[in-house]
Chains A and B, each alone.
Chain A
Amino acid sequence: MSRVARAPGASTKRAVEDGGASHLSHSLRSLSIQHQSPSKPARAAADSASEICPVCKSSRYLNPNMRFLVNPECYHKMCESCVDRIFSHGPAPCPIAGCKKTLRKARFRMQTFEDLKVEREVDIRRRVAKAMNKEEADFETLRDYNDYLEEVEEITWNLILKIDVEQTERRLRRWEEAQKAELNPNAVRRSVDNGPDISTLSETSHVILKKGGTQRRVQGASLGNTPIPEDDTGFSFRGLKKRKAPEPEKAFDPTGGWSVEPLYYSVKEEYDHKFFAVKHEPKFYAFGYKAPEYYSHALRDAFGGLGVFLEDDRANEVIDFGTQAAAVAAGGGRDVEMNDVF
């Protein structure tokens, strides 16, 4: 099922541009619209319900500083003091009747949206968007990209509407692993199902209580044994380009590509001579001074400018430095044109 609104024959258009609402489902939109213009009685009723903690029944009326928290495992709301009381000593089951989720204190948080359905959908969308982060440039054609977006939307909706949650969740994780491995081929590819991943938001990823250690081990073993083909990337998209590894950085060249290629000499590593008697004394190495450096300097000094003929060079120059400077000298300061620069 798809919620990507696409006008007929508009396949060349980017799906994300279609009304700009494809990522926000209709339900989300209608909810937010409702929220923006609520009828007065409905609002009053909601307000009164949100003022009392469903666990300890204490009311905000008596305790103005009371804060309500939710846990993304089940989105059941309860007051801060209840969270402290129940979950301070480790993971515990949700106290709301009929909910058997195991919750951790660390994951409780203030809700962002008034409607918890919206809160949950936003969480799911964020989680899917994190895994499915391809861009148009990653695809061969725009058509492929739009198909990809449509599939992403379908995954999202499966999770939101709790259809095939277990399988979708596994494929998503598989996909994430594959992406990571592609980014960094050197990273050791972990087994995907080695225990529940608490960073995921799905209903399946539950925390097992401490006392159920044996159970966890059994479960872990059973999950780990599930045969998963190595090349299974969870999803495959048509037209998705293979990621190209960036070119390895070139070694830094401090001379910026310039080099000296002498015309008249070539420096040897070693000369048999008496001049540079200290050439093999370690105390000179400490300065970074090397005999070949010395040889290269000596020879460069010997031949630097051998083929430079001043008559020719100066004749080619448009500005004659000598006369120009002298002209300035004659017109300028007392003795030298630079005698008094201030």
Chain B
Amino acid sequence: MRLNEDDLYRQSTQYKHWSFTPSDLTRLRQKTNAHAATQVKLHIAQDRVERAKLATLDVASAPESGADTPNGNGAGTGANTPVPGGAGDKGGEVDCLTTEEENMVVDKFCETAMKLGDFLKLQPDVTATAIQFMRRFYLYNSPMTYDGTKISKTAFFLALKLELGTRAGSASDFASRLPKTSRDDIVAPEYTIVQALRFNFEVRHPFRGLKGVHLELEDMIRGNYAVAHDGRTPAELRGEALQALEVAEEEEAATKLGNIYAHTKDILTMAAQLTDAYFLYTPSQILLAAHLLASPALTTFYLATKIPSSSPASTKILSTLQSCADLLSSHRSYSKNPAQHKLAWADGDPPATKKAMKKLRGCKDPTTQDLVALNAGKKRDVVRDGTLEEGKAKRRKLNRETAEKENDAFWGPELKKEG
């Protein structure tokens, strides 16, 4: 009954529920996109009908616009709904985002989230967790359905709670640190997100193991590392490590190691977050791939002390690391050397992303834009679309009333509230 580190990793929810092959990932995104597009088209059409009705009513009775819908749920009908149905809505066919455009939009959301984390001076762990929550969330939800700005705030709050525990502070505290944000804005999408995350809160970040790698590398440079599978002596390992670093002295090596560490960490906290690396590779592979980018010679040497280069596993691991490294270096945040101003690359957007963001404005699902009202409506059992939802609401109401009656019969009626 012995487990190795791979067996342990296979027990994680990240492996079980959030790891995909590239084809699975694409298929999943296509499904989500197709589903969201149908919903968006349906809801925009419904919205137009309702709006037309209201417009005639408004003309007839009151001059005020943006009156509440009859069922008291203001979501999507008032002035808070963006473009569809508004002045710019020509009433034509809704042009929904494609899967590729969705990807770009989600990446943009994540970049914005990264800037938000930087702005709030949060630990890299918190930012990374929040971004991964968003990426996971948008696997099963479309950016057309849920707005990235709103989701990112709550994702940050969840990540804060996860990484800092009781030190995270309350939702109101967090809201006060953000511009134009109330506590309700933070809390409203919380359940939606947590459900989409399937209550899997653990994110295994590759940078967690970076210190482990450097513990061993420092050991090798000092000549203290004793465990090499091929019988190399500590002294030989030291020599090879120094050679890989292209230095002669231990002190120089330490400085160089520090640089490599910083560079790897940059790659892991930026490129790794903003690509699909977490979905496609294991944390260890991402970590070593980033290390490979930061210092090819040293990483190759280090891996050779772990896995005999003759073994078939070695080639497989190396090719996996290389493909992961290619993915990481393909991101525009990647630079050959650690940058001074780390988020400088994110100042301008590629034209395709700009186009997708613009397109998004025309195809947002009107029913899910006001998350606060939606959340409150859910609590009040007010659901606005479809007869099935109405039936559901009725049944739910009935159930609740019966439960309350039973409760009262057993515990006695609820006490009158003071004041």
Interface set of A (CB-CB < 8 Å, partner B)? 256-266, 268, 271-273, 275-276, 295, 297-311, 313-315, 320-323, 325-327, 329-330, 334-339, 341-342
Contact = CB atoms under 8 A, between A and B. Distances in A.
Contacts of B211: 275-276, 298
A333 to B, nearest CB: 10
B198 A298 contact: no
Nearest to A300: B5
A275 B5 contact: no
Contacts of A335: 35-36, 39, 140-142, 145-146, 368
A322 B316 CA distance: 24
B354 to A, nearest CB: 26
Contacts of B313: 307
A329 B20 CA distance: 17
A323 B27 contact: yes
A307 B6 contact: yes
A271 B25 contact: no
A258 B282 contact: no
Contacts of B224: 272
Given A265-B227, A275-B211, A307-B6, 11 more contacts: A257-B1, A260-B4, A263-B6, A272-B219, A302-B287, A303-B212, A308-B282, A309-B316, A320-B24, A336-B140, A336-B195
B214 A305 contact: no
Interface in B1-32: 1-6, 8-10, 15-17, 19-21, 24-25, 27-28, 31-32
23 contacts: A263-B4, A265-B212, A272-B218, A297-B208, A300-B5, A300-B212, A301-B209, A302-B287, A304-B209, A304-B283, A305-B284, A310-B282, A313-B10, A322-B21, A322-B27, A323-B24, A323-B28, A329-B35, A330-B34, A335-B140, A335-B142, A336-B196, A339-B192
A275 B214 contact: yes
Contacts of B208: 297-298, 301
A120 B10 CA distance: 73
B396 interface: yes
B317 A306 contact: yes
B6 A326 contact: no
Contacts of B19: 310, 314
A307 B32 contact: no
Contact of B307 (A264, A295, A300, A315): A264
B369 interface: no
Contacts of A337: 140
Contacts of B283: 301, 304-305
A268 B220 CA distance: 13
Contacts of B307: 264
A338 B140 CA distance: 10
A275 B212 CA distance: 10
A301 B6 CA distance: 10
Contact of A263 (B5, B288, B316): B5
A273 B19 CA distance: 34
Nearest to A305: B282
Interface in B143-166: 145-146
B192 A302 contact: no
B54 interface: no
B195 A338 contact: yes
Contacts of B8: 260, 300, 304
B44 to A, nearest CB: 14
Contacts of A271: 215, 218-219
Contact of A302 (B34, B39, B213): B213
A298 B5 CA distance: 12
Contacts of A325: 28, 140
Contacts of B25: 322
B-side binding surface: helix, strand, loop or mixed?
helix
A295 B218 CA distance: 13
Contact of A299 (B16, B32, B192, B212): B212
Interface of B: 1-6, 8-10, 15-17, 19-21, 24-25, 27-28, 31-32, 34-36, 39, 140-142, 145-146, 192, 195-196, 198, 204, 208-216, 218-219, 222, 224, 227, 280-285, 287-288, 306-307, 313, 316-317, 320, 368, 396
Contacts of B285: 305-306, 308
B2 A308 contact: no
A326 B195 contact: no
Contacts of A307: 6, 313, 317
Contacts of B9: 304-305, 308
B5 A322 contact: no
A268 B15 CA distance: 28
A267 to B, nearest CB: 9
Contacts of B34: 330
- Nearest 10 pairs between A and B by C-beta? A305-B282, A302-B209, A298-B212, A301-B209, A322-B24, A305-B9, A326-B31, A302-B212, A299-B212, A306-B284
A273 B21 contact: no
Contacts of A339: 192, 195-196
A336 B224 CA distance: 53
A260 B24 contact: no
Given A260-B5, A303-B209, A311-B21, A273 B15 contact: no
A303 B284 contact: yes
B120 to A, nearest CB: 25
A336 B317 CA distance: 35
Nearest to B194: A338
A307 B306 CA distance: 12
Given A310-B20, A322-B20, A259 B209 contact: no
Nearest to A332: B35
Contacts of B213: 302
B27 A304 contact: no
A305 B5 contact: yes
B59 to A, nearest CB: 32
Contacts of A295: 212, 215
Given A310-B21, A310-B281, A273 B5 contact: no
A307 B31 CA distance: 30
Nearest to A299: B212
A303 to B, nearest CB: 5
A261 B2 CA distance: 6
A326 B219 contact: no
Nearest to A341: B195
A309 B5 contact: no
Q: Could you say which of B19, B316, B368 has the most chain A C-beta atoms within 10 Å of its C-beta?
A: B19
